[in-house]
Structure 1
Amino acid sequence: MGFADYIKANEEVHKAGSEVKYLFCEKEGADKLIVTFPGFTNSGKFKYRYVRTLQDVNAHRLFLLDEFGVRGCYLLGHHRSFKIETVVMSLITSMLKKYGLKIDDVILQGSSKGGWMALYYGIKYRFGHVIAGGPQTKMGDFLIKEDVEIQPDEKIHVFSKVRVADYIAGGHEHGDLTYLNNLLYEQLYRDPEDFPMIYIHVGKGDSHFENHIKPFVTQLDINNIKYELDIQEYHEHNDLGIFYPKFLLKTLQTIDDKLIPQRMKI
């Protein structure tokens, strides 16, 4: 069976008012759950991420799909609702109950857009660990400001990031930009004592480093929130696909050496 056929045969739908598609890979005897959030794709097609990277890891693995609107809704909802977020949390909670796991046993991970979701869900709901590669932390700047700056004189095309902002926030004016930027940062001002351990990876020349990572870790420092920042010598955001998988596996090994089989040790 090919990889695409495997996903098609094993994809499921969780319903809790709304619906979310997911792929779940059970690991017998595992005591950890890794939840993977999807990123954007250049093709505009909705895809699961890092299924191959994590296929031999000693953990239950839950891969989420974000196929809402034109290019997804960061698994939040439509027009400032959180209906999809509610479904996602219902799904994760059901997995914890089924396998007798605690919230500290959950590792959330993703890169770029998926990194934002891992940080948002991880901090808001106080999961055990968050691993994020090159995340956008200021969603409004990324979807609205940076999109308009890159294409100032071009007609917004069907896969434009601005269209994602319209779906989530209901528009792309200044108030919408502020709303989207605050979604993650407002989670930092709660009691930091039970925050997840946060691991962030980024390329030194990736624009996300200056625009999104530095402002975020500054706030982590101000709020005395523990994190580790891994900065590598590359300059293109798309190079996350090359560097992040190794960082992901290395970080999982740091969290719990049993997660990585001996033949995969880094």
Structure 2
Amino acid sequence: MSEAPRKSRQVIQGIDASGGRPVEYRFSHARNGNRHLTVVFANIFAPDDYGWATGILDNLRSNVLWIRDRFDGGNTYYLCENMDFAVERSVIGLISRVVDALGLTPGDVTLWGSSKGGSAALYFGLRYGFRNIVASVPQLAIGTFVRDVYPETGRHMLGEGMAPDDVRTLDAILPDLLASGANPDANIYLVSSPQDEQYSSQVEPFLGLLRRYENFNFIYSESPFITDHGKVTQRNTPPLLGIAYLLVEGIAPRLGVARHGYEEPDADRSGIDSFIKSTSVVQSSFAAPVVTTPASNDLLPVRGARFTGQAPGAVRVSIWEKGKYMASAPVAADGGWTWVRDASWSTGEHLVRLFAVDPNGYQSERTDVRFTVSEHVVARRPEPDVRYTAATVPGALPAPLVRRPETYDQLTEAQVGFQGVAVGAAHVGFKENGVFLAACAVAPDGRWTWEPGWLWAEGVHTVEVYAADTAGAESPATPVVFSVTNATAGATPAGY
């Protein structure tokens, strides 16, 4: 008998940049109209800094919001970087906006996490009044822990010197909340074990404060198969998921029962749909990268083909084929990027998809480039990049890149049209034999197109294409040589 297909749920990616720090998230809609939200925080070793995101929550009926703990390249416990708590404010801002967009209240929310994710679930749940908190093997003296156990994270959160006063401040964050009795009605589910090497310093000293909460539940696991911190959550995943399923259904596993079957199949989703659209990781206002080479349907060699282009405003261009990541090409200050694949291409047709990524992680629309690879094609020596030719004056505009026509193209009079990229320019001009032909405007992303609108004389043409800024300063020219066949005699522009 074949195995049943694994259930999966659609996951949407987004970035909420409305706060002081952009917060990356993933979201999945509830099943069957369930009116609950589960917010998931990541542990220190979570893949891509998203916790519990490997499909283990696929059967959960609630909405699920995964929040990434990656700010300026490091982990923060969702709290601070260099003791700047703008991270915390941005994270709670994201959670609050999702709760509001779903039409829910803090009583309809479960915060979930293990290790540092468990610490975050406790902190945000207690401080901001969320009803349910599931925390597996958390650290409650955060400052001491990151200083001694994960100093790289400690320096990221506390600053390079990890000052003792700052360590004490982070150590006190959770104990002070517990001592104050914050959010006294919270349902708290804490998982730990004496076999966890962190138990004696990070959990046991604070159990007295936790036991003051009427709805505190302590899952104390003494399995001989638990040998370290990481194994506690692994061995307790089934009961943890059981707790999650009950909380999602409105049942707090303790004395007493809340409402069950908390579902609204016809609930209005316009609020959350609008939020997801506005924070989508793909932004239509961010121009897709321009591919200068290879041209569409080019014939390329097995090795050594050079990909170049423009992506103004981006920090990198991400390159994919058949849904699989291939590489990232860094983008220079002037928007240019170059990539040559290290491995060989397979022979035959290829369709490569590219998108640009800005400093906040937003992505552009996609650009496709189709080409064919043949073992009979010899790699050409890379042509000089016109942005760095000797004719380019330092500080001046770079010569424009011309994508169409390509040098030595053979065209009919109806096929002559010009297209390319001129970063930083206001317009692009065209001359032949020193005679000005025309000029066209340059779009904000650097792209330009000129369709002459006349019939060209038969024969070889050399058109010089130059860029100019708003002050009239001109770049060096890019010569384009092409030939025209089947032209109508005498059909040349006035003054040509």
Which TM bucket (shorter chain)? 0.7 to 0.9
Which residue does the alignment assign to 2:403?
A: none
Shift of 1:117: 0.4
Q: Which amino acid aligns with 2:13?
A: E
- Pick 1 or 2: higher relative contact order, CA cutoff 8 A, min separation 6: 1
Partner of 1:95: 98
Q: Does 1:127 align with 2:117?
A: no
2:152 maps to which residue?
163
Contact 1:73–1:168 (8 Å) recurs in 2: yes
Aligned length: 237
Matched, 1:230 2:219: yes
- RMSD of aligned residue pairs (Cα, Å): 2.4
> Counterparts of 1:113 and 1:64 in 2: how far apart (Å)?
13
What is the Cα deviation at residue 61 of structure 1?
A: 0.2
Normalization by structure 1: what TM-score? 0.81
Quick check: which one's helix share is greater?
1
TM superposition score normalised by structure 2: 0.45
Q: Which residue of 1 aligns with 2:489?
A: none
Residue 38 of structure 2 corresponds to 34
Distance in 1 between the 2:196 and 2:227 partners?
5
Query: How many Å apart are 1:207 and its aligned residue?
Result: 1.5
Runs of 4 or more above 6 Å deviation = none
- My pick for the range that moved more, 62-71 or 228-237, is 62-71
Residue 15 of structure 2: aligned partner: 13
Q: Residues 83, 244 of structure 1: CA spacing in aligned structure 2 closer, same or farther, 3 A cutoff?
A: farther
Opposite residue 227 of structure 1, the aligned amino acid is F
Aligned partner of 2:48 among 36, 46, 49: 46
1:182 aligned to which of 169, 172, 182:
172
Residues 61 and 176 (structure 1), Cα distance of their counterparts in 2 relative to 1, 3 Å cut: same
Q: Any idea what SS the aligned residue of 1:76 has?
A: coil
% identical equivalent positions: 24
Change (3 A) 1:13 1:33: same
Q: Determine whether 1:118 maps to 2:108.
A: no
Q: Deviations over 1:87-126 (max 9, x none)?
A: 1111111111111101111100100010000001000111
Residues 85 and 75 (structure 1), Cα distance of their counterparts in 2 relative to 1, 3 Å cut? same
- Name structure 2 gaps, 5 residues minimum: 1-9, 252-496
Q: Is the 8 A contact 1:113 1:136 kept in 2?
A: yes
Q: Where does residue 77 of structure 1 map in the other structure?
A: 80
CA distance in 2, matches of 1:38, 1:197: 20
Highest Rg: 1 or 2? 2
Separation of aligned partners in 2, 1:249 and 1:85 = 27
**Contact 2:74 2:156 (C-alpha < 8 Å) held by counterparts:** no
Gaps of 5+ in 1: 1-5, 148-160, 260-266
Report the CA distance between 1:178 and its aligned residue: 0.9
CA contact (8 A) 1:111 1:244 kept: no
Q: Return the offset for 1:244.
A: 3.6
TM-fit CA distance, 1:60: 0.3
In the aligned structure 2, how far is the partner of 1:71 from the partner of 1:244?
A: 28
Per the TM alignment, residue 205 of structure 1 is displaced from its structure 2 partner at its CA by: 0.6
Equivalents in 2 of 1:40, 1:105: separation in Å?
27
